[in-house]
Chains A and B, each alone.
Chain A
Amino acid sequence: MINRYRWWELVLIYAGMALFLTFMLAPFVEAFMVSLRPLAEVFRIPYRFFAEGMSFANYRQIWISQPMLGRWIINSFGIAVAVTILSMMCSIPAAYAFARFKFKLRDGLLSLFLAVSMVGAAVLIIPLYKLMLALGLLNTYAAMIIPGAAFTVPTGIFLMRSYFMRIPAELEEAAYVDGASRLYTMRRVILPIAAPGMVVVAITTFITAYAQQFLFALTFNSKNHLNPLPVGLYQFFGHQEVRWNELMAASIVGVLPVLVLYVFLQRYIVAGLTAGAVKE
């Protein structure tokens, strides 16, 4: 009864949704329309939403005019996967320690990770640049992967910790009574139970790593064949005469895989985002 809407309330809700979606999706729709236009129609006054001669020709052309495009997309995925793996390898054991053990420095170290999660990577770019230079990592994948992972570790710890805390401690106690070691208990009892949570954190980390790989690549890498997609495209964005139709076609091709992935995994992503902690 309480949830029944009157007709004008329904109209209001759907109108609100339509307006909201217009704002969220307009850039995508327009990008797609531009990607179908021939260049003459892109630079045409007055503006027309449905232009003449729309076709998928640009989607063929981009692979010729940007021969690196495929490489950039693969780089993007590779970097995001590597960031996710490295980040999880650090955050899972740490989160377990914070969730289950009482030790002297616990609160202090937890605050340290919280503090790090508040500082954006751009603020620390100077020493990071010098560090990468000193380690000889400039112009390598590592220069994009290692800092990328470090800045996702704190969020990973907070997310995983809340999962571990929900697992009843009796399970571990039972294992100890049976003579299992702490490491064995963690590996064979706790991690399998926490697997769904780990999947959620991994997916969220991957999306973050994929979305935010601009700064490190822009600053630490000047080798075009190592670039992730955003920085690769940024070069032809910077030109005097931007070929907008091709840029948009390449952008759409580049984000399509992650959008498809999102649609299939969105249930887990929403769960991860709302599990007590949030990420940027």
Chain B
Amino acid sequence: MKRTDAFPYLLLIPALLLVGVIAAWPLVETFRLSFTDASMKQTQSYVGFENYLKFFQRDFWPILGRTLVWTTLSVSLKLVMGLLGAVLLNAAVPGRALFRILIMPPWVVPVAVGCFMWAWMYNGQFGMISGLGQRFGVFSGPFEFLAYKQAAFIATVVTDVWIGTPLVSLYLLAAMQTIPKDLYEAAWTDGAGRFYRFRRVTLPLLMPSITTMALLSTIWTFNSFEIIWILTEGGPRGSTTTMIIDTYKTAISRFRYGEGAARAVMILICLMVLSAIYLALLNRLTRKGRAK
């Protein structure tokens, strides 16, 4: 029994090595770099909180605000669409299996390829949405979705919702199917209609799963990079520059590693707050589950 103690650690070595080198060390290094003026130069020196001060004086608040609005909008739409999809998937009608196969492709294909398709859809001169919009009189002329601040903001959200919805649907469907059937039968015997059963049985019992998904989805959406980068690279005039895009631009496009690291640390702080809320929620849910 003595050797028991070492065995689990041996099993963990590969995972710890890989995750340690590729994720944990960079995490620490990001903090260190954020206090330096690291750039393309060979030398770097410590500059204290200068990078942070610069960031706060310049554009921290507008970028944070934009990121929060973008994330909130996208996550709420994903949840609404995901719930709708789960309800439809859960309906016992012929064709359900086909429906389940057909809603998944946005999640299966590479994110970048999905974005190329959407970039074409948003094309103002020749694209489908603008073209059909003109035919039916919604737009008076060509409308270039990615060229206007607000339109580009909405367009990137729509693409993000398109990619994220299938997974939310499947997750909520799985949660829905764990609700005991006799609850519905009891409500039905009491004369409750379908909508009433949804509101009084399904929704309350689904609430923990919806909250969990909302938080996880917020964390993933907060980290979203590819969609905005491919569609707008943060433009036009910074209107889709979220914190991630801003960090990437500062560090990789302009080679200001120190400043970029400070911006990355602010993202990490936001993620920490979100994760703390998520963990607190998980703990509360498991305790509730045990109490039952």
**Interface 0/1 of A123-156, CB less than 8 Å to B:** 1111111110000000000000011011101100
Taking CB atoms, residues of chain B closer than 8 Å to A20 are 81, 84-85, 88, 103
> Does A21 touch B at the CB level, under 8 Å?
yes
CB distance from B39 to the nearest CB of A (A): 11
Complex CA–CA separation, A230 to B119 (angstroms) = 14
Taking CB atoms, residues of chain B closer than 8 Å to A129 are 251-252
Taking CB atoms, residues of chain A closer than 8 Å to B102 are 21, 24-25
Instruction: Kindly report which residue of chain B lies nearest to residue A219, judged by CB atoms.
Output: B252
Complex CA–CA separation, A120 to B225 (angstroms) = 9
> Does A30 touch B at the CB level, under 8 Å?
yes
Complex CA–CA separation, A3 to B23 (angstroms) = 49
> Does A214 touch B at the CB level, under 8 Å?
yes
> Does B18 touch A at the CB level, under 8 Å?
yes
Query: What is the interface of chain B mostly: helix, strand, loop, or mixed?
Result: helix
Return the contact of B117 from the options A31, A76, A93 (Cβ within 8 A).
A31
Taking CB atoms, residues of chain A closer than 8 Å to B213 are 278
Interface size on B, residues (CB 8 A): 103
> Does A62 touch B at the CB level, under 8 Å?
no
Q: How large is the interface on A (under 10, 10 to 19, 20 to 34, 35 or more residues)?
A: 35 or more
Instruction: Kindly report which residue of chain B lies nearest to residue A256, judged by CB atoms.
Output: B109
Does A211 contact B111, Cβ atoms closer than 8 Å?
A: yes
Does B120 contact A96, Cβ atoms closer than 8 Å?
A: no
Complex CA–CA separation, A118 to B95 (angstroms) = 36
Does A21 contact B103, Cβ atoms closer than 8 Å?
A: yes
CB distance from B219 to the nearest CB of A (A): 5
Does A234 contact B230, Cβ atoms closer than 8 Å?
A: yes
CB distance from B133 to the nearest CB of A (A): 9
Does A262 contact B104, Cβ atoms closer than 8 Å?
A: yes
| CB contact under 8 A between A153 and B100, given known A25-B105, A119-B27, A119-B268 | no
Complex CA–CA separation, A24 to B278 (angstroms) = 29
CB distance from A244 to the nearest CB of B (A): 6
Complex CA–CA separation, A106 to B4 (angstroms) = 14
Taking CB atoms, residues of chain A closer than 8 Å to B11 are 93-94, 96-97
Return the contact of B112 from the options A14, A157, A230 (Cβ within 8 A).
A230
Query: What is the interface of chain A mostly: helix, strand, loop, or mixed?
Result: helix
| CB contact under 8 A between A278 and B167, given known A46-B135, A120-B223, A215-B226 | yes
Does B12 contact A14, Cβ atoms closer than 8 Å?
A: no
Name B76-99 residues within 8 Å CB distance of A.
81, 84-85, 88, 91-93, 95, 99
> Does B118 touch A at the CB level, under 8 Å?
yes
> Does B261 touch A at the CB level, under 8 Å?
yes
Return the contact of B15 from the options A17, A31, A91, A126 (Cβ within 8 A).
A91
**Interface 0/1 of A92-132, CB less than 8 Å to B:** 01101110110101100100111110111011111111110
Taking CB atoms, residues of chain A closer than 8 Å to B111 are 211-212, 214, 230
Instruction: Kindly report which residue of chain B lies nearest to residue A147, judged by CB atoms.
Output: B22
Taking CB atoms, residues of chain A closer than 8 Å to B162 are 23-24, 27
| CB contact under 8 A between A259 and B126, given known A123-B247, A237-B116, A251-B117 | no
Taking CB atoms, residues of chain B closer than 8 Å to A212 are 110-111, 226
Does B268 contact A123, Cβ atoms closer than 8 Å?
A: yes
CB distance from B89 to the nearest CB of A (A): 9
Complex CA–CA separation, A51 to B289 (angstroms) = 58
Q: Taking each of B112, B126, B226, which has the highest tally of chain A beta carbons within 10 Å of its own beta carbon?
A: B112
Does B7 contact A101, Cβ atoms closer than 8 Å?
A: yes
Given A94-B12, A247-B116, 15 further pairs, Cβ under 8 A: A24-B162, A27-B120, A43-B126, A45-B142, A47-B128, A93-B11, A101-B7, A118-B275, A126-B264, A212-B111, A212-B226, A214-B230, A251-B113, A266-B104, A278-B167
9 A-B pairs whose Cβ atoms sit less than 8 Å apart in the complex: A91-B15, A101-B8, A123-B244, A124-B23, A214-B111, A244-B120, A255-B110, A273-B167, A278-B213
Closest 10 CB pairs of A and B: A47-B131, A120-B223, A230-B112, A274-B174, A150-B22, A127-B26, A94-B15, A127-B29, A93-B11, A101-B8
Residues of A at the B interface (CB closer than 8 Å) are 1-3, 5, 9-10, 13-14, 16-17, 20-21, 23-28, 30-31, 34, 42-49, 76, 86, 89-91, 93-94, 96-98, 100-101, 103, 105-106, 109, 112-116, 118-120, 122-131, 146-147, 149-151, 153-154, 157, 182, 207, 210-215, 219, 229-231, 233-234, 237, 244, 247-248, 251, 254-255, 258-259, 262-263, 266, 269-270, 273-274, 278-280
